[in-house]
Amino acid sequence: MPTEGSATFKNIPLFEQISKIRTTLGVCPQLDVLFEDMTVREHLEMFYTYKDPSANFLLSNAEQ
């Protein structure tokens, strides 16, 4: 949390309603954003967490 000041995104207070803001954002990389030392699962977990950090990333045993 910042010590002072405020920020908004589309008139939504950033620090009070970040989860609401995340529902309107997406990732559109301009370059190859895959990291050589990460697995496919690790990449999926990372991008999934960007969208909803409070959710648990779960795959069935068949997909692991």
Q: Express each pLDDT in 16-50 by its tens digit.
A: 888 888 787 776 767 777 888 999 888 888 877 77
Residue 37: what pLDDT? 93
What is the predicted pLDDT for the residue at 62?
A: 42
Distance CA 35, CA 43 (A): 8
Q: Given a cut of 70, is residue 58 above it in pLDDT?
A: no
User: Which backbone phi and psi does 33 adopt, to 5 degrees?
Assistant: -105, 15
Residues in the chain: 64
pTM above 0.85, yes or no: no
In whole angstroms, what is the distance from residue 43 CA to residue 32 CA?
12
